[in-house]
Homo-oligomer: A and B are copies of this chain.
Amino acid sequence: MNSARQPIGVFDSGIGGLTVVKAIMENLPSESIVYFGDTARVPYGTKSKMTIVKFSLENVEFLLRFGVKCIVIACNTSSSWALPTLRKYFKVPIIGVIRPGAAAAVRQTKNKRVGVIGTNATIKSGAYDAAIQQLDPAIKVFTQSCPLFVPLVEEGWLGGDISRHVAQRYLQPLLRQRIDTLILGCTHYPLLASTIRQVMGPGVALVDSARQTAHEVRGVLVGADTISDSRRKPRYRFFVTDEPTQFNRIGHQFLGQAIGTVERVNGY
């Protein structure tokens, strides 16, 4: 098999990882993609490390059936807790969203005060703190979990009073720390960007890992000499573990275009 023609595998706990797929489609338009969203067991961000690692191992095993040439963990929670274990078990290159997001924030900050928001599990893991400190130990990192942000996005309440009040409650402590850069450490959060920007003000840059992760994918493919040289139209396949209705209904908001066929996988 010509490995350049093999697809890229992407997995997420649910639907949010489509923002990363969107960035890969834009940055690497010749690459085919297989997406796996674990919608039957979503969310991961409220679960323990043990459970997140177990689910992530199963997700990689699923993607490997398609002969993927690399795997992207689009989920911040899974990247935070499961990446080291996955790299130990599997030979295929695996890319998470934490280091790309951390690197973008390190480049962005002027006053070396960076905020990170994410799910309970992502924040508890300390993964962003560690990644930022490794790149620049002089940077101070302030973290805050925002458990209601994902349900707000899934309810479609992206603006309005309730979302702004919730954002104020979560973000007030970060505002007081005078951060100049805020990592949106969950794939759902970019949909709340305008509300978050209202609360944080124009002096705080918002960093979303998706685009940066797509750059890292390109780097890995170039390094392994497996980047696609095909002029054929790439193929996109989407698999989910629950019925695809909801995924189809709101997925285009994350992907920025219509999704097409979504297939349901049994056994999860």
Contact = CB atoms under 8 A, between A and B. Distances in A.
Interface of A: 39-42, 46-51, 147-148, 150-152, 154-155, 157, 161-162, 165-166, 169, 241-243, 245-246
A169 B50 CA distance: 37
B162 A154 contact: no
The 4 closest A-B pairs by CB, nearest first: A48-B243, A151-B151, A40-B51, A51-B242
Nearest to A267: B54
Contacts of A147: 151, 154-155
Given A40-B47, A162-B166, A165-B165, 5 more contacts: A51-B242, A148-B157, A151-B151, A161-B165, A162-B162
A242 B162 contact: no
A154 B48 CA distance: 15
Contact of A242 (B48, B154, B242): B48
B151 A48 contact: no
A137 to B, nearest CB: 31
A246 B154 CA distance: 23
Nearest to A245: B48
Nearest to A149: B151
Contacts of A162: 162, 165-166, 169
A51 B38 CA distance: 12
Nearest to A243: B48
B242 A47 contact: yes
Contacts of A169: 162
B148 A155 contact: yes
Contacts of A242: 47-48, 50-51
A93 B148 CA distance: 38
21 contacts: A39-B47, A40-B47, A41-B41, A42-B46, A46-B154, A46-B246, A49-B243, A51-B241, A51-B242, A51-B243, A147-B154, A147-B155, A148-B148, A148-B151, A148-B152, A148-B157, A150-B151, A161-B165, A162-B162, A162-B165, A162-B166
